[in-house]
Amino acid sequence: MKSWDVIVIGSGAAGFAAAVTASCKGLSVLMLEKAPQFGGTSAISGGAVWIHDSDQARKMAVGGSPQAIETYLRTIIGEPHYRQDLVDAFIASGREALAFLEKEGAVKYSLRPLSPDYYPDEPGAVDVGRALEVVEFDGRELGAHFRDLRSPPPGMLLFGGMMVNRVDIQHFLDMRRSPRSFAHCCRLLLRFGRDRLRYPRGTRLAMGNALIARMATLAFRKGMQLRLNVNVLSLSERNGEVTGVVIEREGQKQALEARCGVVLAAGGFAAGRLAERYRPQTREHYTMSAANDGAALRLAAAVNAREGADLPSNFFWAPVSVLQHPDGTQERFPHLVTDRAKPGVIAVNQRAVRFVNESNSYHHFASAMQSRAENAPCFLICDALAMKRYGLGLARPAPVNNDALVKAGYLHKADTLPELAQRLGLDPQTLADTVARYNRDAAQGLDPAFTKGGNSYNRAMGDPGHRPNACNAPLTRAPFYAVTLYTGDLGTSRGLVTTADAQVINQHGEPIKGLYAVGNDMDSMMAGTYPGPGITLGPALTFGYLSASHMAQQHAL
């Protein structure tokens, strides 16, 4: 039987954090991935992490105290789901994990200059210091593995294959009024043009793609082995201890031994039957984690593992728009930061009235969609000025021509608001009244109805150059545009109950020796809440690191 010290199931950020840490601590590692490419949902994510007291924050003397972040988390998560042991481990070890991974060259982050927590007016919240941005990575360093790295969907790429991060996006928005931004964009385009002579897409990687690529590059250099297209059939068990896995690959079954442990990092159950059971029923729902079918939870159930309790929200929510292609395939776009909070953009429900602060977090926005049947699906609406400046979903800002999206039925366009209402199946007079009411206040930068732009997070997501409020402007310039938003999710919050070292707990409350769960397979310490940017990947790196550290310690005994 072939054996390794550690077997990791799944190839997202949590799995790679465990794999890299184990490799750096001298353990042999095998990573198993059922998909034909590695990276999981992490590879198409924003890649940001939410970490307390990072070295980057210390240098700038920002981020708040341990007591402040604990207060904030306790306030947002609340009882009875607040896990003190997990919160303590995250606060105490997050910096240690990030520093270790950065020192080894597995990750590279910079402090976001302004990135407020999602509930900035709650006790313990900060505007800067906890959110860190992935530094770009040269995909050419992956060598032959570059083609095995999961690529973001087309809607998240420019010009058929160029990745951009938040800073790049702002430069593209400003390129016609800022020489500095124009020069930045020209450099990106020149690099992309050179890349396309040799590669199927750009090799300047950003966000989650850069995170996974950098971690994978180090893991491969450390000797980690990766097998793609692998179906894990079961966990091997002896005297209550998990000792390996049984896999199927290319029609052949094989038993593999894990001398120190198996790490479940397969991404949760957002696309499986469990998802249908625990998800609120809306007319249509789209997950951004379509491959994560709960396989790890089924494996763990067979060895008597305990799942977390049902939560008020078992998922991390986001509004999603969907482009239907002629061949029957879909392109899903999560509306996270690029449009909802911008001036000149509002959302209305099926009664043609607003129902939420559009500039609140995506989790908050999608939760509001689920609160009443008439709110899902809803419609994101803007005027010609906002479209020219910011775009809307997959529709790009000027000078891009979006006629193909109109023809495909994704983007709705009309010369008047009543005409737009008819295209959307809304009452024309009600929509006209809704926009008129919003416009009266928006001209002064106000929104007394829903306080759009009313806190630091809202304004950070808006247009920093727009006055008097970064989030509000009247919709006045024809033509008018709309896209349909459906409820969606970025992954699951509910998972396997673990110790603070990520050891899976059995039905009797005892750790299962040799079995660990991290990422969305782990019952999230956030308990279905979304306190800030990067609150999935921050714990993913932390508990991935802690799981491998625990295995290394046990191995040394």
Phi, psi (degrees; rounded to nearest 5) at 247:
-120, 165
- Domain membership of residue 190 (yes or no) is no
Q: Which two tokens stand for residue 402?
A: 């979006």
Cα gap 445→308, rounded to integer Å: 44
Q: What residue numbers bound the domain in which 347 lies?
A: 316-489
C-alpha dihedral, 245 to 250 to 253 to 256, nearest 10°: -30
- Both tokens of 545, joined, read 């690191």
Domain count within the chain: 1
Domain-embedded: residue 447: yes
CA distance 329 to 315: 24
What are 49's two structure tokens? Answer: 């992490």
Q: Summarize pLDDT for 54-93 with one digit per residue, the tens.
A: 999 999 999 999 999 999 999 999 999 999 999 999 999 9
Give domain status of residue 459, yes or no: yes
CA-to-CA distance for 266 and 40, rounded, in angstroms?
8
Handedness of CA 267, 30, 534, 135 (dihedral sign): negative
Cβ contacts of 200 within 8 Å, gap of 6 or more: 147, 161
Report in angstroms the alpha-carbon separations of 230 from 152, 245, 331: 22, 11, 26
Q: Which two tokens stand for residue 28?
A: 């042999």
Prediction pTM value:
0.95
Alpha-helical runs (H) found in 25-65: 55-60
Q: Is 138 left (phi over 0), alpha (psi -120 to 50) or beta?
A: beta
Distance CA 421, CA 428 (A): 5
Residue 64 lies in a domain: no
Q: Which residues partner with 415 through β-bridges?
A: none
Q: How many CA atoms lie within 13 A of 415 on its CB side?
A: 0
Q: What angle do CA 82, 97, 533 make, to 5 degrees?
A: 55
Per-residue pLDDT at 414: 99
Contact 452, 458 (CB under 8 A): yes
State which residues of the chain have pLDDT below 50. Answer: none
Which residue is associated with the tokens 């007079």? 429
| Cβ proximity of 291 and 35 under 8 Å | yes
Model pLDDT, residue 439: 98
Q: Does a structural domain hold residue 343?
A: yes
How far CA 483 is from CA of 154, 370, 452, 509, in Å, comes to 18, 18, 20, 48
In a domain, 262, yes or no: no
Q: Within a domain: residue 179?
A: no
Distance CA 349, CA 470 (A): 23
In sequence order, which residues have a C-beta less than 8 Å from that of residue 14 and are 6 or more positions away? 42, 265, 518, 519, 520, 521, 522, 540, 541, 543, 544
pLDDT digits (tens, 9 = 90+) for 85-128: 999 999 999 999 999 999 999 999 999 999 999 999 999 999 99
What is the Cα–Cα distance from 18 to 547, expressed in whole angstroms?
A: 6
Spatial contact of 531 and 364, defined as CB atoms under 8 Å apart: no
Write the DSSP assignment of 474-502 as a string of letters: ---SSSEEEEEEEEEEEEES--B-B-TT-
CATH number of the domain within which 341 lies: 3.90.700.10
**Cα–Cα distance for residue pair 451/396, rounded to 1 Å:** 27
Gyration radius of the chain over CA positions: 23
Does residue 474 sit within a domain?
A: yes
Say which DSSP state 47 is in: -
Q: Which pLDDT score is estimated for 167?
A: 84
Structure tokens at 70: 């604990």
Place of tokens 């479940």: 264
